[in-house]
């Protein structure tokens, strides 16, 4: 097996991080997965390194974490949290400040490639029918999370140009896999427990990403030639092969779990009205609206195609996830 060198993965204890550590090891990388603290799953494995809070890590510890690395995959982030008065500062400290400090240290220690896990929401919350987001579309981030990710991409661009660092920003859609939380877990839990869902008439299109496809894309990216991309940030969209509607996703989840989905139809207008009255307009819109991305740039540049089908990805995610 080839030895590609050392890759540092932040957020290695998360569900994407754990899968990526395993994939990169299998592909011949010497992985150093950074975690806040070792636990029962990571303590006996040499590839995991406890570094505490990345927002408070000392210069010596950061240098030790990056020692000898040729690439960094930065997955650690502050993700969607209940809005608070200090939300702006909290998102900026983690998603911008930590990213900047990590990239500066990477440059100082000779890292060649910095991969940043960004979000599709840098480009916006919804897409028009038949018009998926493309990398050439202007950013339009809404909310503290998306805005902090876009700010981090800009900081990385300012650092890359004078240093020659190659930076790839992967703008990821909803990602699912074993241990996934938030929206995917909530939807899977509702399906598992037979909650009636008034979404049968929804005709949207949403790009999603299985963690197996995410890791495959990452491994392909890290093995690629870096000459064309040095000294700049290159954004890419990565997703499963085919977008799905919300009812299609619910049926696929139900099939993976082995239950019958309880879908019935209410008009989208009525659902939006009910969501607004209940203070959940944004949540309802995520179920009704389209958010589609065009992955042709990444697939063409790296000769990549998603290897894992939706059915296989969901089966793996829901078979190995703790009961919901």
Report the C-alpha gap between 308 and 222 in whole angstroms.
19
106 half-sphere exposure, CB direction, 13 A CA radius: 31
Q: How far is CA 317 from CA 99, 183, 312, in A?
A: 29, 14, 9
Q: How many residues does the chain have?
A: 324
Q: 323 burial class (0-12, 13-18, 19+ CB within 10 angstroms)?
A: exposed
Query: Annotated catalytic sites, by residue?
Result: 145
**Tokens representing residue 270 in the block:** 């009525």
Instruction: Categorize the per-residue pLDDT at 153 as very low, low, confident or very high, splitting at 50, 70 and 90.
Output: very high
Pairing between strand 208-210 and 29-35? unpaired
Report the C-alpha gap between 324 and 321 in whole angstroms.
8
Pairing between strand 174-176 and 48-50? unpaired
Instruction: Categorize the per-residue pLDDT at 166 as very low, low, confident or very high, splitting at 50, 70 and 90.
Output: very high
Mean pLDDT of 71-78: 93
Q: Taking a C-beta distance cutoff of 8 angstroms, is the pair 264, 200 a contact?
A: yes
Mean pLDDT of 166-189: 92
pLDDT of residue 321: 44
The per-residue pLDDT for range 82-132, each reduced to its tens digit, is: 556 567 888 888 899 999 999 999 999 999 999 999 999 999 999 998 899
**Tokens representing residue 264 in the block:** 């019935």
Choose between 40 and 56: higher pLDDT: 56
Choose between 224 and 81: higher pLDDT: 224
Q: How far is CA 303 from CA 207, 209, 255, 306, in A?
A: 20, 18, 31, 10
Report the C-alpha gap between 194 and 127 in whole angstroms.
30
Closest CA to 74 of 165, 144, 155, 167: 167
Lowest mean pLDDT segment, chosen from 42-46, 157-161, 176-180: 42-46
The per-residue pLDDT for range 237-256, each reduced to its tens digit, is: 999 999 999 999 999 999 99
Residue 24 has pLDDT above 50, yes or no: yes
Instruction: Categorize the per-residue pLDDT at 189 as very low, low, confident or very high, splitting at 50, 70 and 90.
Output: very high
Mean pLDDT of 154-174: 95
Mean pLDDT of 303-316: 94
pLDDT of residue 279: 86
pLDDT of residue 45: 75
Q: 293 burial class (0-12, 13-18, 19+ CB within 10 angstroms)?
A: buried
Closest CA to 306 of 188, 187, 219: 219
Q: Which long-range contacts (CB under 8 A, 24 or more apart) does 46-50 make?
A: 47/21, 48/12, 48/13, 48/21
Choose between 86 and 259: higher pLDDT: 259
Instruction: Categorize the per-residue pLDDT at 44 as very low, low, confident or very high, splitting at 50, 70 and 90.
Output: low
**Can you state the angle between helices 99-108 and 59-66, rounded to 10 degrees?**
60
């Amino acid at each position: 097996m080839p030895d590609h060198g050392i890759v540092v993965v932040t957020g290695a204890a998360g569900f994407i991080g754990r899968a990526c550590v395993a994939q990169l090891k299998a592909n011949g990388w010497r992985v150093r997965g950074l975690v806040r603290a070792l636990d029962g799953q990571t303590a006996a494995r040499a590839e995991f390194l406890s570094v505490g809070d990345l927002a408070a890590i000392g210069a010596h510890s950061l240098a030790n974490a990056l020692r000898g690395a040729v690439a960094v995959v930065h997955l650690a982030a502050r993700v969607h949290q209940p809005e608070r008065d200090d939300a702006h500062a909290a998102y900026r400290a983690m998603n911008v400040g930590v990213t900047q400090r990590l990239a500066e240290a990477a440059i100082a220690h000779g890292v060649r490639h910095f991969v940043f896990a960004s979000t599709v929401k840098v480009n916006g919350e919804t897409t028009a029918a038949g018009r998926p987001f493309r990398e050439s579309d202007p950013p339009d981030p809404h909310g503290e999370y998306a805005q902090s990710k876009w700010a981090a991409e800009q900081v990385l661009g300012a650092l890359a140009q004078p240093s020659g660092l190659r930076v790839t920003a992967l703008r990821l859609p909803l990602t699912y896999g074993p241990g996934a939380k938030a929206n995917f877990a909530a939807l899977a839990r509702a399906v598992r427990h037979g909650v009636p869902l008034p979404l049968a008439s929804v005709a949207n299109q949403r790009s999603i990403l299985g963690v197996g496809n995410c890791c495959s894309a990452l491994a392909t990216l890290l093995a690629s030639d870096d000459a064309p991309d040095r000294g700049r940030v290159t954004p890419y969209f990565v997703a499963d092969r085919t977008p799905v509607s919300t009812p299609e996703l619910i049926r696929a989840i139900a099939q993976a779990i082995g239950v019958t989905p309880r879908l019935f139809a209410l008009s989208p207008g009525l659902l939006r009205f009910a969501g607004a009255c209940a203070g959940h307009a944004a949540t309802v819109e995520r179920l009704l609206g389209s958010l589609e991305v065009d992955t042709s740039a990444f697939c063409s540049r790296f000769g990549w195609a998603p290897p894992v089908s939706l059915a296989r990805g969901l089966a793996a995610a829901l078979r190995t996830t703790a009961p919901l």
